[in-house]
């Protein structure tokens, strides 16, 4: 009994040592895409609700979109379905918010 518990802990340790780096890297990449999408949300929502009349700087928005396009290309090359879906939904949401601002 004691041997099986020890073997179980060794297997768990081996799993985490082998897979933790890739799991952490993938999770951080996914979170980076989410944070990039959310970076313009406060200023967009403030502009839509009338709290401010100053839109976000165009260079900031262009750099964010460029980085998201690069992450989207990376996800397509790696066939990473989670990032493809996440970035695609983010593009749709950002475009809808911009359309609401333009056609207000």
Domain range for 78: 26-102
Cα separation of 48 and 33, whole Å? Answer: 23
Q: Would you say residue 96 lies in a domain?
A: yes
Q: Would you say residue 1 lies in a domain?
A: no
User: How large is the average pLDDT for residues 2-10?
Assistant: 81
64, 39 contact by CB (below 8 A): yes
Q: Would you say residue 68 lies in a domain?
A: yes
Q: Considering its fold, how many domains does the chain have in total?
A: 1
Q: Would you say residue 20 lies in a domain?
A: no
Q: Would you say residue 75 lies in a domain?
A: yes
Q: Would you say residue 69 lies in a domain?
A: yes
Phi/psi region, residue 50 (left: phi>0; alpha: psi -120 to 50; beta: rest), is left
Q: Would you say residue 8 lies in a domain?
A: no
Q: Would you say residue 14 lies in a domain?
A: no
The string of pLDDT tens digits covering residues 45-104 is 888 888 888 888 888 888 888 988 998 999 899 898 988 999 999 889 888 888 888 787
The dihedral built from the CA positions of residue 63, 74, 92 and 28, taken in this order, carries a sign that is negative
Q: What is the CA radius of gyration of the chain?
A: 20
User: How large is the average pLDDT for residues 22-49?
Assistant: 84
Q: What is the pLDDT of residue 1?
A: 53
Q: What is the pLDDT of residue 37?
A: 85
Q: Is the pLDDT of residue 43 over 90?
A: no
Q: Is the pTM of this model over 0.75?
A: no
Q: How far is CA 52 from CA 45, 47, 56, in A?
A: 9, 5, 10
SS3 content of the chain, % helix, strand, coil (to 5): 85, 0, 15
């Amino acid at each position: 009994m004691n041997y099986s518990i020890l073997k179980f802990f060794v297997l768990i340790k081996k799993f985490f040592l082998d897979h933790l780096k890739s799991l952490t890297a993938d999770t951080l990449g996914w979170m980076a895409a989410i944070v990039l999408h959310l970076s313009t949300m406060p200023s967009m929502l403030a502009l839509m609700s009338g709290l401010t009349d100053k839109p976000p700087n165009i260079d900031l928005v262009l750099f964010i979109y460029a980085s998201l396009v690069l992450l989207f290309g990376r996800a397509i090359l790696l066939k990473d379905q989670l990032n493809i879906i996440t970035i695609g939904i983010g593009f749709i949401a950002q475009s809808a918010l911009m359309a609401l601002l333009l056609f207000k």
